[in-house]
Structure 1
Amino acid sequence: MTEKEIAILRIGHRPERDQRVTTHVALTGRALGASGMYLAADDKGVAESVKDVADRWGGTFFCENNVKWRSCIKDWKAAGGKVVHLTMYGINLPDIIGEIRPCEKLLVVVGAEKVPGEMYGLADFNVAVTGQPHSEISSLALFLDHLAEGDEFKREFPGAKIRIVPSKAGKHTEEL
Structure 2
Amino acid sequence: MPEKEVVILRIGHRPERDQRVTTHVGLTGRALGARGMYLAASDKGVVQSIVDVTARWGGEFFCSDNVKWRSCIKDWKAAGGVVVHLTMYGLNLPDIIEEIRPQAKILIIVGAEKVPGEIYGLADYNVAVTGQPHSEISSLALFLDHLFSASELKNEFYGAQIRIIPSKAGKRTEEL
Map Cα deviations across residues 104-132 of structure 1 (whole Å, 9 max, x no partner): 00000000010000000000000001001
Stretches of structure 2 lacking an aligned partner (at least 5 in a row): none
Distance 1:59 1:76 in 2: 23
Deviations 1:72-99 (A, max 9, x none): 0001001110000000001000000000
**Aligned residue for 2:48?**
48
Aligned to 1:104: 104
Q: Distance in 1 between the 2:17 and 2:74 partners? A: 28
Matched, 1:5 2:17: no
Give the distance between the partners of 2:63 and 2:94, measured in 1 at CA. 29
Letter in 1 for 2:37: M
- TM-align CA RMSD: 0.9
Superposition deviation, residue 154 in structure 1? 1.7
Instruction: Report what 1:135 is aligned to.
Output: 135
Cα displacement (A) at 1:2: 6.2
Aligned to 2:151: 151
2:169 maps to a residue whose letter is A
1:26-175 matched pairs, under 5 angstroms: 26-175=26-175
Residue type at the aligned position of 1:20: R
Deviation at 1:3, TM superposition (A): 2.3
**Cα distance in structure 1, aligned partners of 2:154 and 2:52:** 22
**TM-score, length-scaled by structure 2:** 0.98
Matches of 1:163 and 1:16 in 2, distance apart?
Answer: 32
Identity of aligned residues (%): 80
Q: Give, in whole Å, the separation in 2 of the partners of 1:15 and 1:82.
A: 28
**What letter is aligned with 2:137?**
I
Counterpart CA distance in 1 for 2:67 and 2:108 is 15
Distance 2:82 2:171 in 1: 39
Q: How many residues align?
A: 176
CA distance in 2, matches of 1:2, 1:146: 19
SS in 2 for 1:13: coil
Q: Secondary structure at the match of 2:10?
A: strand
Q: Which digits, 9 at most, give the CA deviation of each residue in 1:142-170, with x for residues without a partner?
A: 00001111101221111000000011111
Q: Which amino acid aligns with 1:142?
A: L
What amino acid sits opposite 2:108 in the alignment?
Answer: V
**Map of 1:6-21 to 2, 5 A cutoff?**
6-21=6-21
1:4-57 CA deviation, whole Å, 9 max, x = no partner?
A: 100000000000000000000000000000000000000000000000000000
